[in-house]
Chains A and B, each alone.
Chain A
Amino acid sequence: DAKTTQPTSMDCAEGRAANLPCNHSTISGNEYVYWYRQIHSQGPQYIIHGLKNNETNEMASLIITEDRKSSTLILPHATLRDTAVYYCIVRPSYGQNFVFGPGTRLSVLP
């Protein structure tokens, strides 16, 4: 399985963009990058996913480098409600499972 590396924690000022990096240097060509987040006391919530093109939805943008070895999740205007643990997951092509690492704890500060 491709492994991911994320910073343990990050801070972001309210109203500013939050840029959360993820390193997945062993990713295979057919593996997707997924992002989930978990707000305290809730189940993880899907944010976005992509293969090699940049993706954007109502929640966030996903920027994947050309070599696919890393990606960045961008929350364009972070709010206090975005405080959560953010998980970057590379899904195994042969597996049925999402493997969650420790993630990045994002704190949005007023």
Chain B
Amino acid sequence: DAGVIQSPRHEVTEMGQEVTLRCKPISGHDYLFWYRQTMMRGLELLIYFNNNVPIDDSGMPEDRFSAKMPNASFSTLKIQPSEPRDSAVYFCASSLGSTAATNEKLFFGSGTQLSVL
């Protein structure tokens, strides 16, 4: 398996534009997570899905952020409109089963470096 695949690797956009980040989880994994990493706040969980259903989106900063998972092999994180403070690295991760289970591990993608000018 190629691992968790994210695209694009880098995204530069102007304030006010819509940004869409993409993620393909590892085949067979039924949990998918979106994290954001900044120098100030470190790694923060934004939202996670189980079997394509959003379970916890309490980490989504505001209504400008939305995430979807239309099928088991694809998820998007959309920011509309984007703002400079959204500049960060966004990671997608997947796991085989519930991370409440005792032996689950997260597998991370390489991330998307987003710069909003």
Chain A interface residues (CB < 8 Å from chain B): 32, 34, 36, 41-46, 49, 51, 91, 93-102
Q: How large is the interface on B (under 10, 10 to 19, 20 to 34, 35 or more residues)?
A: 20 to 34
Using Cβ atoms and an 8 Å threshold, which residues of chain A touch B50? 96
Using Cβ atoms and an 8 Å threshold, which residues of chain B touch A96? 31, 48, 50, 55-56, 98-100
Using Cβ atoms and an 8 Å threshold, which residues of chain B touch A41? 110-111
Chain B residues touching A, majority SS? strand
Using Cβ atoms and an 8 Å threshold, which residues of chain A touch B99? 91, 95-98
Chain B interface residues (CB < 8 Å from chain A): 4, 31, 33, 35, 42-43, 45, 48, 50, 55-56, 91, 93, 98-100, 102-103, 105-111
Question: Which of B55, B56, B105, B110 is within 8 Å of A42, CB to CB?
Answer: B110
- The answer to whether A46 and B106 have CB atoms under 8 Å apart is yes
Instruction: State the Cβ distance, A99 to closest chain B Cβ, in Å.
Output: 8
Contact flag A43-B45 (CB < 8 Å), given A91-B99, A96-B98, A98-B99: no
- The answer to whether A43 and B111 have CB atoms under 8 Å apart is yes
In Å, the complex CA distance between A102 and B43 comes to: 8
Instruction: State the Cβ distance, A104 to closest chain B Cβ, in Å.
Output: 13
